[in-house]
């Protein structure tokens, strides 16, 4: 899907997603933006746009943390997200997409762990509910 159709579908998916799905969508969005910035044919403009998109998404993940309920886990995630933001900024300033590997090395395992945790939670609650 491209253009208005793709944007409408994406907007609908975001507005109907639950909190767990939104986090997964954020990870997917950030990782997708990084992949586009790292594409061998990416122009400096593309690197800038996609790196900024990834920064915006990681910022949303950071701001969405509940430090009261999340405790040390939220604090640890906040540190990881801040590190990712630093690396995204450095990659964008230098227009060096290779610096984005560090961000992928953080976000990809977090996405995998989040997906596993939400699936496990849903299975437990489906069995008891």
CATH of the domain at 71: 1.20.120.340
Radius of gyration of the chain (CA): 16
Domain assignment present for 128: no
Note whether residue 41 is domain-resident. yes
Residue 76 lies inside a defined structural domain of this protein: yes
Number of domains in the chain: 1
pLDDT band (50, 70, 90) for residue 121: confident
Whether pTM exceeds 0.75: yes
| Alpha carbons 63 and 106: distance in angstroms, whole number | 17
What is the mean predicted confidence (pLDDT) over 30-36? 98
**Residue 54: which domain range?**
21-123
**In the predicted model, what is the mean pLDDT of the chain?**
89
pLDDT, tens digit (0-9, with 9 covering 90-100), for 78-88: 999 999 999 99
Q: Is 16 helix (H, G, I), strand (E, B) or coil?
A: helix
DSSP, res 41: T
Label residue 99 by pLDDT band (50, 70, 90): very high
d(C-alpha 50, C-alpha 37), whole Å: 6
């Amino acid at each position: 899907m491209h253009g208005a159709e793709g944007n409408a579908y994406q907007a609908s998916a975001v507005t109907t997603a639950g909190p767990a799905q939104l986090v997964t969508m954020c990870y997917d969005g950030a990782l997708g933006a990084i992949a586009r910035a790292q594409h061998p044919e990416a122009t400096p403009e593309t690197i800038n746009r996609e790196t900024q998109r990834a920064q915006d998404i990681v910022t949303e993940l950071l701001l969405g943390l509940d430090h009261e309920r999340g405790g040390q886990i939220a604090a640890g995630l906040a540190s990881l997200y801040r590190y990712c933001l630093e690396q995204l900024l450095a990659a964008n300033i230098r227009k060096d997409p290779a610096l984005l590997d560090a961000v992928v090395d953080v976000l990809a395992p977090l996405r995998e762990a989040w997906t596993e945790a939400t699936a496990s939670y849903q299975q437990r609650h489906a069995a008891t509910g």
